[in-house]
Structure 1
Amino acid sequence: MNFSHQNYRDQFVAACLTGLPGTAENWFRRLDEVVDGVVVAEAVSADATGEPPLRSLSALGDLGALGVQVPAEYGGLGFGDGAACLVVERVAQACASTAAILMFHYQVVRRTLAFGADSWRDDDLRGFATGSLIGASAWTERATTKNKENLQTRLRSQGSRLTLDGEKTFCTGLSAAGVVHVLAETELDGGRQGATFVRVDAKDPGVRISAPYPLLGLRASGTASVELRGVDLAPTDLVGEPGSGRALMGHNHEVCLNPGLLALGAAAGAFEDACLMVTGRLADTQPRTGAEQVRASLADTLVSVETSYAYAALAVAACADGASPVVSSKFKLQASAAAEEITGALLHTVGSRGFLSTFPLERRLRDARATALMGPSNSLIRDRITDHLLTTDTLPEADHDQR
């Protein structure tokens, strides 16, 4: 249940649906029904147990949400990446954990469409379209640098076959995934080609997935580790060319399918929840709108939410027009930093009940904080933005370096 008509989303929604037929708007109305019904109902219990929200994922799959980017010829909706951004944001208003699984799944869908091999590409796309197959990625390791250097996971050639060994950590959506794109250092035919993505069946006997991590926020996002021991693969299981792994990771930044969408939805959900609480429309709450501090806080947070959505609309539109990948990074930084501030301020606004886990704001705060920590972390993004700023040709020449 929302307090407002959420007019602050209008520009963002329009940007995500640009160029799509009216059937897309009709489909999103059906998505609203699933989110307000199934996803909302499971959000609290999933957060409490830390288990993936399988009922929600099943309902979304039945609706076709897992195949929103998949072309119609494979049974998908064919709405594209902008619509996928809108699905993630809308679901995040109800459950950011479910939205996180979707977000990383959509990255796998994009990678499959652009770089999938003929031997498995079509089958995976059909699985995504029907909701029977969920994708996840595994690139983080305990000792890797911010650019995923020093990978210890190895993909080696063994005659006509390939063998994969290693361990990956903090893999979001892993507990619900049927297929995983693993980033590994590749050594084929005696040479080293560098980081490469490879497609792995999550049920392969050489794959061992840990229990979900006990996280601060996004607790039901199915984030786990995976051990890979002697996984037998074919050369056709490579995703893209050998050594193209880092370029394919950069492919993720061409659109706004990143944790900024989770933060955006969490902030909007928190604002609507707070309005319901301070107006006494939630059970066990009393009206508090006569207090000057409450009124001022609501005004400030509304402007912050509107600002985040306006920036999101610009970022989605810019990425659709082929803007620099730094645009999506800026969006993630702005949305997650704002969500942390918004949820923190609203927690104080609603009074003591805001700190109870029986009310949704406490979960929103934890989820918003998790988006800021989620890779790429905001500290890394600030480095990227500054590097881009200092190397752009549009900057005037300085008389001297003032560092």
Structure 2
Amino acid sequence: MPAVRILPDEDARDLIALTREICAKDLAPRVDESERAALFPQETFRLLGRSGLLSLPYPEEHGGGGQSYEVYLQVVEEIASVWMSVAVGVSVHVLTCYPVVAWGTDGQRDALLPGMLGGEQLGAYCLSEPDSGSDVASMRTRATLVADGSAYTLRGTKAWISHAGHADYYTSFVRTSDVGARGLSCFVVPADADGIEFAPRERKMGLDGDPVRQVTFAGTPVDADRRMGDEGQGMAIAMAALDSGRLGIAAAATGLAQAALDAAVRYAGEREQFGRPIGEFQGLGFMLADMEAAVTSARATYLHAARLSDAGRPFSREAAVAKLVCTDNAMRVTTDAVQVLGGAGYTQDFPLERYLREAKVTQIFEGTNQIQRLVISRHLLKSI
């Protein structure tokens, strides 16, 4: 059943209604076949872009939707309740725009944001490397300034990159000096730049509509005016972007959990054993109640962090809490939903097995949940 939402105004209510209409008419009929065939939903992203759903949390003056994070994240949740790969893609794209909006100059915003926020472009976010995951500061991909200072040359390999091979640009974090975390910088690399190479798609257990590859910069030239912020500010940019990106994953995980709960409730109300619906047996009824409590608490957690962000208050700790709670709850709810369906839940005749596979990665990307616990504990100790 649709989540009950308290939205700030009529525009937000219309936006949720539009999202639900697009999900029902355009996403739901295609998701099962597309995921089975591991097809990249390019046309779906174009539709979302034309509908204004790829730029919601950014200012209208830059071509964005001018929506609060509270509203934007609920749109992501709605999409995830129908097609998780697409919801993750929306979150990734929004993440790729953040460095330009928050750290770019007026000239850079004027040059780049109309395309990034206009609905026709899709971005990729290049942070991790084969030997640099949670330890971001250990990355080795390097940008070397050419002699006249007009451009950089990028060399190195990025790993686990969503939309690789399909993106129009790659928001990339690379090393410009050897001063550890203070030696990283951020560049927006156009997809048509020379020397960009792609490895074969990763063979993942889920999110098959989201192609993930290694991206290698083999002497890739990038104009100096595509560096966001100063040299050495890359770590600060990446961490600030990830605070918001974690909320996107939290909202998507909540939508996935809601879909699993809805499917379990429908099945428990229709499947009969011993002369009555199985949901009437206390063992299953209590399981459904716990699933509902997990989904509701997850939603409240990410909305709390979003409202702090919208109010201009610090929200790093709350973003980590939301990512941790929402993704752990998604794993629990999808696992229990499979159990409610019994043997049927283990088959591909129902989407529950796919939901379970999709939920697992939410505990890993945008910072593992072990990293979230580290972030939370450090914030707590700083407050003493």
State TM-score, norm by structure 1. Answer: 0.87
Quote the Cα distance in structure 1 between the aligned partners of 2:64 and 2:364: 33
Q: Does 1:260 align with 2:250?
A: yes
Q: Which residue of 1 aligns with 2:132?
A: 144
Q: Which residue of 1 aligns with 2:239?
A: 250
Structure 2, unaligned stretches of length 5 or more?
Answer: none
CA shift at 1:46, angstroms?
2.6
Q: Does 1:332 align with 2:323?
A: yes
Of 282, 286, 289, 1:296 maps to: 286
Q: Does 1:235 align with 2:224?
A: yes
Quote the Cα distance in structure 1 between the aligned partners of 2:160 and 2:65: 30
Quote the Cα distance in structure 2 between the aligned partners of 1:145 and 1:70: 28
Quote the Cα distance in structure 2 between the aligned partners of 1:302 and 1:193: 44
Quote the Cα distance in structure 2 between the aligned partners of 1:177 and 1:121: 19
Alignment of 1:60-75 (within 5 A): 60-75=48-63
Q: Which residue of 2 aligns with 1:306?
A: 296
Q: Does 1:6 align with 2:11?
A: no
Quote the Cα distance in structure 2 between the aligned partners of 1:333 and 1:220: 24
CA shift at 1:254, angstroms?
4.2
SS in 1 for 2:279: coil
Quote the Cα distance in structure 2 between the aligned partners of 1:265 and 1:124: 31
Quote the Cα distance in structure 1 between the aligned partners of 2:53 and 2:126: 22
Q: Does 1:176 align with 2:173?
A: no
SS in 1 for 2:39: coil
Q: Does 1:276 align with 2:266?
A: yes
Contact persistence 1:42–1:53 (CA under 8 A): no
SS in 2 for 1:61: helix
Q: Does 1:377 align with 2:374?
A: no
Alignment of 1:194-205 (within 5 A): 194-205=183-194
CA shift at 1:145, angstroms?
5.5
Quote the Cα distance in structure 2 between the aligned partners of 1:308 and 1:68: 22
Q: Does 1:35 align with 2:23?
A: yes
User: What RMSD over aligned residues (CA atoms) do the two structures have, in Å?
Assistant: 2.2
Q: Which residue of 2 aligns with 1:353?
A: 344
Q: Does 1:365 align with 2:356?
A: yes
What CA deviation, in whole Å up to 9, does each residue of 1:276-298 have, x standing for no partner? 222239xxxx9533433222211
SS in 1 for 2:153: strand
Contact persistence 1:88–1:261 (CA under 8 A): yes
Quote the Cα distance in structure 2 between the aligned partners of 1:259 and 1:5: 19
SS in 2 for 1:243: coil
Q: Does 1:219 align with 2:208?
A: yes
Quote the Cα distance in structure 1 between the aligned partners of 2:88 and 2:20: 17
CA shift at 1:64, angstroms?
1.1
Contact persistence 1:52–1:222 (CA under 8 A): yes
Quote the Cα distance in structure 1 between the aligned partners of 2:40 and 2:251: 19
Q: Which residue of 2 aligns with 1:22?
A: 10
State TM-score, norm by structure 2. Answer: 0.91
Q: Structure 1 vs Structure 2: percent identity of aligned residues? A: 23
Letter in 1 for 2:336: A
What CA deviation, in whole Å up to 9, does each residue of 1:167-205 have, x standing for no partner? 0000123343111111100149xxx96101111011222
SS in 2 for 1:229: strand
Q: Which residue of 2 aligns with 1:397?
A: none
Letter in 1 for 2:124: A
Q: Which residue of 1 aligns with 2:86?
A: 98
